[in-house]
Structure 1
Amino acid sequence: MVELDKLRTLSARVGADPLLVQAAGGNTSLKDDGVMWIKASGTWLKDALAKDIFVPLDHAAILAALATNDPACESCTAFVRTDLNSTGLRPSIETTVHALMPQRVVVHVHCVNTIAWAIRADGEQRLSEKLAGFNWAFVPYARPGLPLAGAISSRMRPGVDVLVLGNHGLAVAADSVADAEAVLERVVAAVNRPVRDALPPDRQALAKLCAGTTYKPAAMDETHALATDPLALKRGKSLVFYPDHVVFLGVGVATSFDGQPPLVAVPGVGVLIRNDAKPAIEPMGRCLADVMRRVEDNDPLVSLTGEDVDRLVNWDAEKYRQTLKA
């Protein structure tokens, strides 16, 4: 299928951009002849050209189930076209986002610039200035699955092809891969935010701290900003602003080795990653640093509540994603 091949190429390109997608986050889809092909849960978009990461589903069946608030829409495994599913994988935990957008192609990303707006209490108002030329909708935060499907349904209007998901990310849609990519590029340019310079890590100090431990310095310079940017650490140490933060890093960011956390931010020095940490840990740590470097001290931010966090970590679909590795 030519269009699916084009989607694989776009997926790999988007998945390789840490400002758009981190680790297994984000997903893409294509609707064709009643079948919706969507990225499988736990797979990485950057691998789209090297691995078969798409799962086929019965699109009409999903829509019918959503109309009745069917609990099967939480995982959407009941709608997989097993006759076409060579991978045996499960569909993305955000399948309902894609199903509800009527366009053929949907690209959902965790764009750090979008998130930096979408975690603000006045995010919808501020984005209305940035996205004045788009047919877009702002969707207040809701857990993926049925809650998010309901939130999207209440905000959708004919012609909407851009969704900003509060405390979550961005979804764009079009009837071809090329057009979806064009919309994505325009939106990303429109929501761009200034980035604070980050102090470099103290690599000598990090080397001493690692000696004799099961930790090593983070590979990406940008990740170290989580420890060297005071505001990034101040906010990230105790608050959670979007789902993938709590799912991969837990509540807050550790600043000591106590409990052997997968990531440790040493204030003013840099970030250490446990040697056996999942491949997603550093990309998620960098994402948090990237988002926080795009907010200011007086920005009116809204974090996820304790109840939001509980609903995420105890969700069966999310538990399944956590069992998978890149």
Structure 2
Amino acid sequence: MVELDQLRALSARVGADPLLVQAAGGNTSLKQDGVMWIKASGTWLKDALARDIFVPLDHKAILDALAKDDPACESCVTFVRTDLNSTGLRPSIETTVHALMPQRVVVHVHCVNTIAWAIRADGEQRLAEKLAGFTWAFIPYARPGLALAGAISSRMRPGVDVLVLGNHGLAVAAETVEAADALLAQVVTALTRPVRAAAKVDRTALARLCTGTAYKPAIMDETHALATDPLALKRSGKAVFYPDHVVFLGVGVATSFDGNPPLVAIPGQGVLIHQDAKPAIEPMGRCLADVMRRVEEHDPLVALTDTDIDRLVNWDAEKYRQTLKVT
């Protein structure tokens, strides 16, 4: 399948860009001959060329179920084409986003520049200025599954090929992999925000802080900005602005070793990662730092509510993703 191979190549490239995708976040899909191939839940896009990460589903069955508000759309496992599913994995928890977009190819990313706009109270208005040349729609925050499907359906219009998901990310769609790739690049360029420079980190001092603990300094320089950029730590210290933050890092950002959190931001010094932390933890910490370095002091931000957070962490589809070793 030539097109699926093209999608794998695009997926691997997009998945390797931390400003677009972090760890198991993001997903891509291709609709072909009634089958929608989509990234499996908990897999990493960057691995698309190294392993089989796509799950086949009956596209029409998903659409029929969505029209009936069928609870099966929460996980979409009912619609997997088991005769074609060699991996045995579940489809992405954001399958409904892909199913509802009529274009053949859909690319959904957790673009940090997009998120920095999509967490603003005036995000839809500000995005309208940036995306004036695109056929796009803003979708207010809703948890993936039926809730998000309903939110998308209420705002879709003929020709829409760009979705900005409030407090979440970006999805673009086209009839070919090449066209989807080009559209993604155009939208990301349009939404690029200024970024504050990251302070230089004293890794020797951080190593001393880790002595006698189960922690080690974060690998990526950008991750440390979560602790060295005062505004980044201030704005994210007690709040959650998008789903993957709370799913992987918990509520807010830990600043001490109390409770053995997976990530600790030592104010003014840097970020430490627990030695037993999942591989996703540092990429998620860097994502938060990257988003917050694009936020200014007086930007009107909207955090997820306690109810939003509870619906995420107690969602069966999300619990399944957390059980996978790859995350």
Q: Which residue of 2 aligns with 1:249?
A: 249
Q: Which residue of 2 aligns with 1:176?
A: 176
Q: What's the CA shift for 1:310?
A: 0.2
Aligned pairs for 1:83-98 (under 5 A) are 83-98=83-98
Q: Is 1:150 aligned to 2:175, yes or no?
A: no
Aligned pairs for 1:96-107 (under 5 A) are 96-107=96-107
User: C-alpha separation between the residues in 2 aligned to 1:17 and 1:314?
Assistant: 29
- Kindly indicate whether the alpha-carbon contact (under 8 Å) linking 1:18 and 1:283 is maintained by their aligned counterparts in 2: yes
Name the aligned partner's letter for residue 212 of structure 1: G
- Kindly indicate whether the alpha-carbon contact (under 8 Å) linking 1:201 and 1:268 is maintained by their aligned counterparts in 2: no
Residue deviations 1:225-278, cap 9 Å, x none?
000000110111100000000000000110000000000000000000001100
* Structure 1 residue ranges (4+ consecutive) displaced by more than 2 angstroms after TM superposition: none
Residue deviations 1:72-115, cap 9 Å, x none?
00000000000000000000000000000000000000000000
| SS at 1:227 equivalent | helix
Q: Which residue of 2 aligns with 1:278?
A: 278
User: C-alpha separation between the residues in 1 aligned to 2:229 and 2:303?
Assistant: 19
Q: CA RMSD in A?
A: 0.5
Q: Which residue of 1 aligns with 2:75?
A: 75
Q: Which residue of 2 aligns with 1:3?
A: 3
Q: Which residue of 2 aligns with 1:140?
A: 140
Residue deviations 1:291-314, cap 9 Å, x none?
000010100000000000000000
Paired residue total: 326
Q: Is 1:201 aligned to 2:201, yes or no?
A: yes
**Stretches of structure 1 lacking an aligned partner (at least 5 in a row):** none
User: C-alpha separation between the residues in 2 aligned to 1:253 and 1:201?
Assistant: 19
Residue deviations 1:37-82, cap 9 Å, x none?
0000000000000000000000000000000000000000000000
| SS at 2:172 equivalent | strand
**Stretches of structure 2 lacking an aligned partner (at least 5 in a row):** none
Q: Which residue of 2 aligns with 1:122?
A: 122
The alignment's TM-score, normalised by the length of structure 1, stands at 1.00
| SS at 1:196 equivalent | coil
Q: Which residue of 1 aligns with 2:220?
A: 220
| SS at 2:307 equivalent | helix
Q: Which residue of 1 aligns with 2:186?
A: 186
Aligned pairs for 1:20-59 (under 5 A) are 20-59=20-59
The alignment's TM-score, normalised by the length of structure 2, stands at 0.99
